[in-house]
Structure 1
Amino acid sequence: MAPNTGIASAGGRSLDPAMLHTGKWWKHSYIVKLNLLLVIPLITSYANGFDGSMMNGLQSVERWKAYFHYPKEEDLGLFNAIQSIGAFCAIPIAPYVSDGLGRRNGIAVGAFIVLIGAILQTATQNLGMFVGSRFLIGFGTTFAQMASPLLISEIAYPTHRAPLTSLYNTLWFSGSIVAAWTTFGTFRINSDWSWRIPSALQGLSSVIQLIFVWFLPESPRWLINRGRDEEAKAILARYHADGDASHPLIAFEYNEIKEAIALEAEAARVSWLDLFRTPGNRRRMRIILGIGVFSQWSGNGLISYYLGKLLDGIGITSSNDQTLVNGILAIYNFIIAISASMTVEKVGRRPLFVISTAGMLVSYAIIAAMSATYEKTQNSAAGRALLAFVFVFNGFYAIAYTPLLVSYTIEILPFLIRAKGLAAMNFSVMGAIIFNQYTNPIAYSALKWKYYLVYTIWLMFELVYVWLWATETKGRSLEETAALFDGEDAVAELSNRTGQDMTQVKHTGSDSQDEKLNIEHSHREVA
């Protein structure tokens, strides 16, 4: 967890380090209890990561393929895309559930829907039932994904908020690891349970959440927004000050929440057109929509969801070998993602984007060459080289597009359009995912190794794109970052206008609000 340091606010007032706990956090039982409880919303990301890796593994399980009569490419596209389609359909509804019913109820609603989907998926009798159950899983996951990070950010101890929200994103890979190794173990079962067991385990996290979510405290921010101020203060006191309601930290946090809610009322009057109204905002959206699409159209979707087909193409056809590779790749991705997230502030955003995209380009070019060589000569060395560069490609992808997709979007968006800008990024990501999941199996079947060339050429475009427009934000405050896009005069004018409109707000309290918005619209982290 983060050290015992102050948290600066953009409005000029800081959280005094003297307000915080003394000594190691794990020596304070109230903080330990809170962090243990926050495991419940954290496992929402685990559930999402489970899905992609499970579908990758099932395509290598002979009993699964036989049960569905060896699905054609268009069927595989539907199997994978339908979960994303379900998630996409829930995006407009989910915020109203978490805002209207509360964060805990939002998690419970999502967990319940996912559990029903997992039960139907496990009991599948035909193609239609399998597709429908996966739609439900995607639909329910969105509700839990909307509410879980909100609750984490709004109840976490101040110095733990950033690492816990970062942990939420990286736990996508924990679900991927469990799913990959589950299919590696169950494919040996000589019955339909070889694929029904992984399907059932997809609902395990939902069972845990439905049992324990009621022990979680409700979001103080949601309670205050509902006029239940005393309940909110009691929760803050219990988990942030060991029950001491008079502690100065509680007054600080309470006032900060009240002022953040006032800011949101102002932001609610911003229209979607404001995302593109000014030259600075158009430059922002050019970057945001670009990296959103690139996060899915860099060739990673072909590897993430159709690894079995890729391995078939280089002669690795046994279920044992394919599921083993899937399991090792999941652990590798997890390690790279965690390591990369620790270097973001040290290396900078622009270098990571450029290095990541250039590395993916070179890796994919080699993958294309090795695939063509193997297809024409059946040279086993070419097949092994291709597999090695699948790992290299994933490593380069993870160093930028895993840690920066959401955080970089936040950094370059001003407060008043931040929520809508994040939503636009999410829609671009989900749209790209759905398109890819339909087209990848069909295109790969038709083009074979030549399909890798399509992504190689596209990655050239991506490299030029990020080289021209990825703007460095390292070491800058939000106001300084805004000046990079709008100019100093525009930033000063906006600050003056906002100050006149909101004279009742003494300070913005923007750090806590920034962290909240940083994850408010987060979807599954894509491996």
Structure 2
Amino acid sequence: MSSRKISRLVPRDQKWLIVCLIAVSVVDSVLVGFDSSLMGSLNVMPTYSNYFTLTTTTKSLNTAISYVGGAAMSPFAGFLADWRGRRECVYWSALLALIGGVIQGSAQNIGMFIAGRCVVGAGMGLAQTAAPTLVAETTPVKYRGFALGLYYACWGVGTLLAAGVCYATQSLNSTYAWRIPSLLQAVPSLVCFGILQFVPESPRWLISHDRHEEAQEILGILNGGQHDEVLVQYHEIADTIAFEKEHNLSMVQALSKKSNRKRLLLTTTFSAIVMLPGTNIITFYFGDMLQGAGIRDPNTQLQINVILASWSLVIAVVSSWYADRLGRRWLCSASLALQIAFIFIFGGLTKVYGNSTDTSGIYGTIAVIFLYNAAYNWGITPLTVLYPPEVLSFEIRSVGMGFYTFTTKCCGLLVAMAVPFGLEAIGWKFYMVNGCFDVLMLLFVFSTWVETRGLSLEEVDSLFDKEKRAIVAEQVKEETKIELGQSTVVSKV
């Protein structure tokens, strides 16, 4: 057993440690949100378009290339997180984002800009695999929904910052005004470096690497020093990991198990629910949407984007607080149903008022964009990195999150490349097509999702692999009885 101790900088108080874990979600989310939303604002700025003399093709490429970097990194991100640890990978992701932002902000031509975006995308791919895994495996069940819900809720903070900075720099009327928002990507990375000094490694990862003493110390802090709870949780985690190691399955064998195939099915298809229901049309090409709705002034478009980002942020943060009040399955289904209604309404209003001067009709069309974003941020945003790590078992969690990140990036690449051509070719009908796809996603969720609310990551095993869960639960009871010298054990087991 390792004799190493956790860092002196890690808080020994339960509440402060949970605050630091939530801060990882917040800062990493701001970093991802700033990068993802930056292109939506840059695409509206004439200084950016004029500097690179953009066409529809180059505009799409510049926007989509970060997803290529993320997709290239994500297949390796899970293995890196298992090898080097979740916390260390979050550190390297922030460093990549910092380097990529500097290259992007100092770009002299489209090739250099694309290279910077690609490096930033690689950092985002690693971050979106490692950070949610770290927070999910470390945060107590009571706070897990809120902590992981905030991961993409605070994506709205990044969106708001990107929109605000672009709006402010647009007024400078400088050829190089677009460089400032790109260079400011460094700020969230630097904050992330600071917060990581106060965050420990995942106790589950530590146990899997035979660093049991550190893991027990962390679990002791997270459980407020309650010895009985620490023992139960420690043995539950240790025995589950030991069970998986004893069966000594290769990664290919682990992924081929029926229970794990279902876990991966739920995880990878969730990428489409996150990226393809219509929200990224707004994120990347809200300028094109507003033009289609009758708003053509760039300054007005940027002002609306700032207000929209603020609105989305408030909805997402509030919904994260209440994420555990409604089951995951019902929350996702209700959100998708509302999105379907609003995207159909938006398509219809765009058809009627897109080329008109009817002020009321134009404002009504814009209002539906706000309602759509509210529906998405209320239901999907809190689940984005909450549901996938919950349904994945430890043996495939980091690799599964890598797959999830990969499929998410591929979906994002599809949106970024296809949307401008789709809007250019069929206009308002594109929203109708997207709405029909959303109906299929709703039916899939309602028929296949399992409910994970209120369960520990090990208890979720009972939903997929009852035999494994029964064996582990019995071992936990026996080991805890011996250590506590009691005839009964905590009822949770």
TM bucket by the smaller chain?
0.7 to 0.9
Separation in 2 of the partners of 1:348 and 1:236? 26
Q: Which runs of 5+ in 1 are unaligned?
A: 1-27, 485-490, 510-527
C-alpha separation in 2, matches of 1:458 and 1:29 = 49
Number of residues paired by the alignment? 468
Q: Say if 2:35 is the partner of 1:64.
A: no
Question: How far is the alpha carbon of 1:383 from its aligned partner?
Answer: 1.9
Q: Which residue of 1 aligns with 2:63?
A: 80
Larger deviation, residues 472-481 vs 303-312: 472-481
Equivalent runs, 1:331-410 vs 2, <5 Å:
331-408=310-387
What do the CA deviations read for 1:43-98 (whole angstroms, capped 9, x no partner)?
111100111221111112121111111x2222122112111111111112223333
Note the alpha carbon deviations across 1:162-219, whole angstroms, 9 max, x for none: 4323333322222112212221222111224422111111111112233453444344
Residue 91 of structure 1 corresponds to 74
Q: What is the rounded CA distance, in whole Å, between the counterparts of 2:140 and 2:438 in structure 1?
A: 41
Change (3 A) 1:508 1:428: farther
Are 2:122 and 1:139 equivalent residues in the alignment? yes
Deviates most, 54-63 or 494-503:
494-503
Q: Which runs of 5+ in 2 are unaligned?
A: 1-10, 481-493
> What is the Cα deviation at residue 307 of structure 1?
0.4
User: Mean Cα displacement is larger for which, 426-435 or 150-159?
Assistant: 150-159
Deviation of the 1:330 alpha carbon: 1.3
Letter paired with 1:383: I
What is the correspondence of 1:38-437 to structure 2 with a 5 Å cutoff?
38=21, 41-42=24-25, 43-69=27-53, 71-156=54-139, 159-234=142-217, 239-240=221-222, 247=227, 250-265=230-245, 269=249, 289-408=268-387, 424-437=403-416
Q: Which one-letter code corresponds to 1:186 in the other structure?
A: T
Kept in 2, the 8 Å contact 1:233–1:250? The answer is yes
Letter in 1 for 2:249: R
**Secondary structure at the counterpart of residue 189 of structure 1:** coil
Change (3 A) 1:474 1:231: closer
Give 3-state SS (helix, strand or coil) of 2:159's partner.
helix
Sequence identity percentage: 30
Matched AA of 1:301: N
TM-score calculated relative to the size of structure 1: 0.76
Amino acid at match of 2:303: L
| Counterpart-to-counterpart distance in 2, 1:470 and 1:292 | 15
| Alpha-carbon spacing, 1:276–1:358, altered in 2? closer, same or farther (3 Å) | farther
What letter corresponds to residue 63 of structure 1 in structure 2? Answer: T
Compute the displacement of 1:305 (Å). Answer: 0.7
SS in 2 for 1:217: coil
Secondary structure of 1:144's counterpart equals: helix
Give 3-state SS (helix, strand or coil) of 1:340's partner.
helix
Classify the secondary structure of the residue corresponding to 1:190.
coil
Which of 411, 435, 439 lines up with 1:456 in the alignment? 435
**1:17: which partner in 2?**
none
Specify the alignment match of 1:495 in structure 2: 466
The answer to whether the aligner puts 1:447 opposite 2:389 as a matched pair is: no
In 1, distance between residues paired with 2:461 and 2:202?
30
User: Equivalent residue for 2:7?
Assistant: none
Q: CA-to-partner distance for each residue in 1:21-53, whole Å, 9 max, x for gaps?
A: xxxxxxx97235424543652311110011122
Would you say the 8 A contact 2:65–2:118 is kept in 1? yes
Amino acid corresponding to residue 66 of structure 1 in structure 2: N
Aligned-partner Cα distance in 2 for 1:149–1:76:
31
* Cα separation, 1, equivalents of 2:237 and 2:471: 20
Please tell me whether the aligned partners of residues 130 and 398 of structure 2 are also in contact (alpha carbons under 8 angstroms).
no
Aligned to 1:191, the other structure's residue is in SS state coil
Take 1:378 and 1:411, find their aligned partners in 2: how far apart are those partners?
A: 49
Distance verdict in 2 for CA 1:98–1:507, change over 3 Å:
farther
Q: 1:481-522: CA deviations, max 9, x gaps?
A: 9898xxxxxx8xx5346656998665899xxxxxxxxxxxxx
Change (3 A) 1:146 1:120: same
Query: What is the TM-score of this pair, normalised by structure 2?
Result: 0.80
Deviation at 1:378, TM superposition (A): 3.9
Q: Secondary structure at the match of 1:401?
A: helix
The answer to whether the 8 A contact 2:74-2:405 is kept is: no
Query: Given the superposition, is the C-alpha separation of residues 504 and 460 from structure 1 closer, same or farther in structure 2, using an over 3 Å criterion?
Result: closer
**Cα–Cα, structure 1 residues 249 and 285, in superposed 2: closer, same or farther, change >3 Å?**
closer
Aligned CA RMSD, in angstroms, stands at 3.8
> Equivalents in 1 of 2:479, 2:284: separation in Å?
43
